[in-house]
Each structure stands twice: as structure tokens, then as C-alpha cells.
């Protein structure tokens, strides 16, 4: 049976995830926004997506409830919006315009990542490394094609396999 984010009676919410290591973590906060919310014209590309990911990581560092550096589950990148080939005409136009400028071409070709950026703040009642601390926490940034809940099953698999002790930050109440 596949493990998913489960209902936790202590919080009366669907917020508990059991990691492969056996550690239970609680989703304390979930922030979401459309990945391309500010894109008014044009087509996203590697440069724009890299900038957007860095922007979202920076935003995650500043969220209330976030401690330590956020962990990124790298988004799947694709050269189409919805179905393979739907960007072929745009790709051809860019290739004609940029010609032999190979480096610029590779950075400017259409590239899409999933449509929703999710930032989840998770906590555990056990510290990750320092037993003198009260708890541990980790903010995770990921991308999926629709708003949660539910969290995309592939993302849940990534979350369950997280090395919590390596990435989480210990804290005090």
C-alpha cells in the first residue's frame, strides 16, 4: 500500500507523512502559487525558469515558520506545454532568429516546468542532529501540475525518501 499524507487526529488535519526512515513529519504550512503567474507574453525558457526557481527558494527562506535553507525537489523540465510537439513552431522561430549562436539558443528554447510552485514547511517532534533541541524543521520547495491537496504522488515519494537528518534544522520552542 502506498503511503500518502495522512490524517493526524492530534491536529484534526491531513498533514502527517511518514518518511521511509520511520520519522513522522507534519505539514505546518503550505504556500502555493502559479509558476508562470507573472508571464504576460512570450515563452518560458531555461534562463527564466532558473531565475524563477531561485526566486521561489529566496521567498521560502523568508516565510514565517521557515528555518534553515529550503530543500528543492528539482522540477521536471520539458520542451512542451501540455503535449509533446506543441512548441515546435516557436522552437523553429527561435532557431531561425538565433542561428548559430549555440549557447544562446540552448538557453532560449522553450522550456516548461510544472504549473504550480509549492512551498511546504514541515516539522518533526524529534531533533535531526542535536538532542538538546526540541524539534526539527525543513522547508521544501517543489513543483506540480495542479494545486495541492493532494500533493502529487511522485512528490510524496520524493518527500518520503528525504534524508531528514541531513537537511532539516533543529530548533527550540
Provide the whole-model pTM.
0.88
Mark whether 16 and 26 lie in a shared domain: yes
99 and 47 in a single domain? The answer is no
The predicted pLDDT at position 93 comes to 82
Does some domain include residue 160? no
In this predicted structure, the answer to whether residue 98 has a pLDDT above a threshold of 70 is no
- Number of separate domains in the chain: 2
Residues 12, 50 within the same domain: yes
Q: Are residues 72 and 82 in the same domain?
A: no
Which residues lie below 8 Å from residue 44, measured CB to CB, with a gap of 6+? 36, 52, 110, 111, 112, 113
Which DSSP category does 69 fall into?
P
Q: Compute the distance between CA of residue 164 and CA of residue 143 in angstroms, rounded to an integer.
A: 20
Same domain, residue pair 67 and 82: no
- Distance set, CA 22 to CA 6, 41, 126, 143 (Å): 14, 46, 12, 25
Query: By the 8 A CB rule, do 114 and 144 touch?
Result: yes
Closest CA relative to residue 42, chosen from 105, 104, 90, 106: 90
Question: What is the extent of the structural domain holding 97?
Answer: 78-111
My answer on whether 48 and 124 are in the same domain is yes
Q: Mapping DSSP to helix (H, G, I), strand (E, B) and coil, where does residue 70 land?
A: coil
Average pLDDT, the chain: 89
Average pLDDT of span 157-173: 94
- In this structure, is residue 55 part of a structural domain? yes
* 52 and 83, same domain (yes or no): no
| 87 and 72 inside one domain | no
**pLDDT-based confidence at 104, cuts 50/70/90?**
low
Residue 22 is predicted with a pLDDT of: 96
Residue 161 lies in a domain: no
Residue 171 phi, psi (nearest 5):
-140, 170
Amino acid at each position: 500500500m502506498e503511503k500518502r499524507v495522512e490524517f493526524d487526529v492530534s491536529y484534526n488535519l491531513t498533514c502527517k507523512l511518514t518518511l521511509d526512515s520511520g520519522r513522522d513529519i507534519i505539514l505546518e504550512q503550505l504556500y502555493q502559487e502559479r509558476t508562470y503567474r507573472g508571464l504576460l507574453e512570450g515563452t518560458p525558457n531555461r534562463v527564466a525558469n532558473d531565475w524563477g526557481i531561485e526566486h521561489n527558494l529566496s521567498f521560502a527562506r523568508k516565510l514565517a515558520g521557515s528555518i534553515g535553507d529550503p530543500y528543492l525537489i528539482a522540477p521536471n523540465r520539458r520542451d512542451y506545454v501540455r503535449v509533446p510537439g506543441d512548441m515546435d513552431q516557436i522552437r523553429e522561430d527561435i532557431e531561425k532568429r538565433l542561428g548559430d549562436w549555440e549557447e544562446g539558443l540552448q538557453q532560449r528554447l522553450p522550456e516548461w516546468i510544472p504549473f504550480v510552485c509549492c512551498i511546504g514547511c514541515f516539522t518533526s517532534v524529534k531533533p535531526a542532529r542535536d538532542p538538546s533541541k526540541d524539534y526539527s524543521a525543513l522547508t521544501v520547495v517543489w513543483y506540480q501540475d495542479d494545486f495541492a491537496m493532494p500533493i502529487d504522488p511522485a512528490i510524496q515519494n520524493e518527500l518520503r525518501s528525504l534524508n531528514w537528518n541531513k537537511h532539516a534544522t533543529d530548533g527550540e520552542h
